[in-house]
Structure 1
């Protein structure tokens, strides 16, 4: 039996709870933007952790770790899947050696700022 689709825990290295999941990196159909779609279970965990009022477009401010890269961004609602999309910029993809179709392990913390 493999690891769970996602898990959540509190860590002393950060200010809150971390949602961990693995998902595929993909190129958006109109080109240029790469995203990771959170598994539905991870999206539910993120929604449970949101304490601030909704921001523009329903986005949620997060701090993300993929490999050794760590940055602040937002995840954006994906109506088609009922989940969120995490944008992954080129410097992160290059630093981590990841590309379209690769499975990536993501640690995501809702920052609420």
Structure 2
């Protein structure tokens, strides 16, 4: 299993037509490249399924969970969704710099 740790701002995406909002961390640079290589070599990375996602384990502070990262065309990196339970448990909000470790 390979680990990649980054510190990046938490940001919110909201549809113009839906009331719900989603929160993400953008993983770019060397960590993004490492995730891409690990996903291709160790698990799966298929642009035809799951939006090209890769399964990961994520950790912020004392909170760990299983999720997926998704390719982010704008940065050339990955988007990591951060669910409400994680944000609440770790006391993080939109705009906060968050240190996250993803493993795959």
**Shorter-chain TM-score: what band?**
0.7 to 0.9
RMSD between aligned residues:
1.2
Structure 2-normalised TM-score? 0.85
Cα separation, 2, equivalents of 1:60 and 1:40 = 17
Residue 45 of structure 2 is aligned to residue 54 of structure 1: yes
Cα separation, 2, equivalents of 1:46 and 1:53 = 11
Question: Which one of 29, 33, 36 corresponds to residue 44 of structure 1?
Answer: 33
Gaps of 5+ in 2: none
User: Corresponding residue for 1:26?
Assistant: 11
Residue 24 of structure 2 is aligned to residue 35 of structure 1: yes
Report how many residues are paired: 95
Cα separation, 2, equivalents of 1:80 and 1:21 = 18
Cα separation, 1, equivalents of 2:84 and 2:54 = 21
Higher helix share: 2
**Contact 1:36 / 1:85 at 8 angstroms: preserved in 2?**
yes
Relative contact order: is structure 1 or structure 2 higher (C-alpha 8 Å, sep ≥ 6)? 2
Gaps of 5+ in 1: 1-15
**Contact 1:76 / 1:84 at 8 angstroms: preserved in 2?**
yes
Cα separation, 1, equivalents of 2:97 and 2:13 = 16
Structure 1-normalised TM-score? 0.79
